[in-house]
Structures are given as C-alpha cells and as structure tokens.
Amino acid sequence: MIEYRINDSVIPDELDSFFQNWKSPPSREIKGKLLDGSDLIITARENGKLISFLTAISDGTMHAFITLVEVLELHQGKGIGKHLIKLAISHFKGYYDIVLITDPDKRAFYKKFGFNEIYGMHIRDFKYGKGSTSDNTG
Ligand SMILES: CC(C)(COP(=O)(O)OP(=O)(O)OC[C@H]1O[C@@H](n2cnc3c(N)ncnc32)[C@H](O)[C@@H]1OP(=O)(O)O)[C@@H](O)C(=O)NCCC(=O)NCCS
C-alpha cells in the first residue's frame, strides 16, 4: 500500500535512487540543503521506502513554485505523480500563482491538472554542483 505524507521528514540518503536521468545529479550535500530549504515536501512511501517525492518553495500566501517532482522509474505510470501534484495544488489552494518548470514532453502531464504554458525567463547554471562557478550575466 502506498502512503502519502505532507511535510514528511526525508533524509538526503533517501534521494540516492532518484535523479537517474540527470546529467548532473545533486550531491548528497545539495540534497540535504534542498530538503531543508523546501517549504513543502510531499512523499509517497511503500512499506516505508521512498518511491516518490515533490518539493516546493513558497512565500506562504501568494506564490508557490514546485521545484521537484520525481517518481522512481519502477513506480511510474501508477498514478503516483498525479496524486502528488493534486496534493500540492490542494496545499496551495487560494494562491495567486503555482508555477513549475518542466520539459516539453511533460506538457500533457501537467495540463491535466490545469497548468497553462506561460512566458518565462531564467538564468540556469549548467555547471551547478560541479565545483565551479560560472558567470551567466555576460
Ligand atoms: C513525470 C512523472 C512525475 C509522472 O508521474 P507518474 O506517476 O509516472 O504519472 P501518473 O501515473 O501519475 O500519470 C498520471 C496521468 O498522466 C499521464 N502521464 C504520465 N506521464 C506523462 C507524460 N510524460 N506526458 C503525458 N502524460 C503523462 C498518465 O498517462 C496518466 O494519465 P491518466 O490520468 O489519463 O491515466 C514521472 O514519470 C517522473 O518522475 N518522471 C521522471 C522525472 C521527471 O521527469 N519529473 C518531472 C520534472 S518537471
């Protein structure tokens, strides 16, 4: 049976099985910091084992940003991601904006929950976590 928890306590080691297809997966230290810095952590556990999680940051009233949604490959396609997103939307009910960044191949997934495409801008450091700093402002 899958158990969903809001603001569950997660230790960085539990994230080791995730980020499989990432070119530059976060280090243990970064995993710890991102867990500490998140305002919302929703987990899905099967027999206690973490099989999916969602993190978000928020100003607590108007804006929320869903930062990570990850379902272990073995458990994808079972409705877990859907449940996490629904819980996050319900958690931030009444907010002006709930935003996230995703790849085009996930567009249809997020549209199911009412997410619309918007114009956005960002600075991304593709060397993040690799021990060097890069200047993206030039
Ligand atoms: C994307 C992801 C979160 C989806 O979670 P999931 O648990 O596999 O998806 P679900 O089983 O909950 O799917 C819910 C619905 O979305 C559909 N769906 C799932 N992935 C989809 C995709 N990539 N594109 C379109 N539809 C998708 C399912 O068919 C299902 O449709 P239904 O409700 O009509 O039956 C998950 O596959 C994942 O973690 N992928 C790797 C990491 C990642 O890409 N994270 C997102 C970064 S923003």
Q: Which atom of ligand 1 is nearest to the CA of 101?
A: 48
What is the CA(124)–ligand 1 centre distance, in A? 24
pLDDT of residue 137: 45
pLDDT of residue 131: 65
Burial state string for 82-91 with b = 16 or more CB within 10 A and e = fewer than 16: ebbbebbbeb
What is the CA(83)–ligand 1 centre distance, in A? 10
What residues flank ligand 1, with Cβ below 6 Å? Answer: 69-71, 76-82, 102, 105-106, 108-109, 112
Q: What is the value of pTM for the model shown?
A: 0.93
What domains, with CATH codes, occur in the chain? 2-111 (3.40.630.30)
Number of H helices and E strands in the chain, helices first, is 3, 5
pLDDT of residue 127: 84
What is the CA(81)–ligand 1 centre distance, in A? 6
What is the CA(80)–ligand 1 centre distance, in A? 8
Q: What is the mean pLDDT of each run of 10 residues along the chain (138 residues)?
A: 97 95 89 98 98 98 98 97 98 98 96 97 87 49
Q: Find the largest Cα–Cα distance for the chain.
A: 51
